[in-house]
């Protein structure tokens, strides 16, 4: 990956729907170069898909929590699959320290969030959880 690839990734991160023509102008290259680079980044490189980022105002009515999960190491793969099936679990990361996993959970109400956190705690392989409600997001990239 060279500097042009990195700059292209930065632009796509800002606006994944930007036209190839617009990207080419911003990068100072021809459209064919951008198309070829995008195809290569999708096929061989770091791009695995495109997504929609929602405005904070849209998400304002929803409630989020970060749930740290201590997991039985022998059951972590199955636990990961179970968490992936839960639509409210938006992100799952491995972490270092006292806990093994960090889940970002988003629901429409505190009751639904409470039910989801209880369901996570009841999953086979979960030893304990520690939850923190997200009050606000200052920025996200």
The tens digit of pLDDT for each residue in 73-102 reads 999 999 999 999 999 999 999 999 999 999
Q: Which residues of the chain have pLDDT under 70?
A: 54-60, 141
CA atoms within 13 A on the CB side of 18: 21
Give the pLDDT score at 140. 74
CA separation for the pair 71, 123 (Å, rounded): 10
CA separation for the pair 104, 94 (Å, rounded): 12
pTM over 0.95: no
Give the pLDDT score at 60. 65
In this structure, the chain runs to a length of 141
CA separation for the pair 79, 84 (Å, rounded): 9
Give the pLDDT score at 116. 97
Give the pLDDT score at 58. 63
Instruction: Answer whether 135's CB lies under 8 Å from 110's CB.
Output: no
Instruction: Answer whether 23's CB lies under 8 Å from 33's CB.
Output: no
């Amino acid at each position: 990956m060279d500097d042009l690839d990195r700059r292209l990734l930065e632009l796509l991160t800002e606006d994944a729907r930007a036209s190839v023509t617009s990207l080419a102008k911003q990068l100072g290259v021809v459209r064919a170069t951008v198309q070829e680079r995008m195809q290569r980044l999708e096929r061989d490189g770091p791009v695995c898909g495109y997504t929609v980022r929602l405005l904070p105002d849209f998400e304002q009515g929803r409630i989020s929590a970060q749930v740290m999960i201590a997991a039985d190491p022998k059951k972590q793969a199955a636990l990961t699959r179970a968490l992936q099936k839960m639509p409210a679990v938006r992100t799952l990361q491995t972490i270092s320290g006292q806990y093994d996993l960090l889940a970002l959970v988003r629901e429409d109400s505190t009751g639904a969030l409470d039910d989801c956190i209880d369901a996570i705690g009841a999953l086979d392989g979960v030893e304990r959880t520690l939850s923190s409600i997200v009050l606000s997001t200052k920025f996200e990239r």
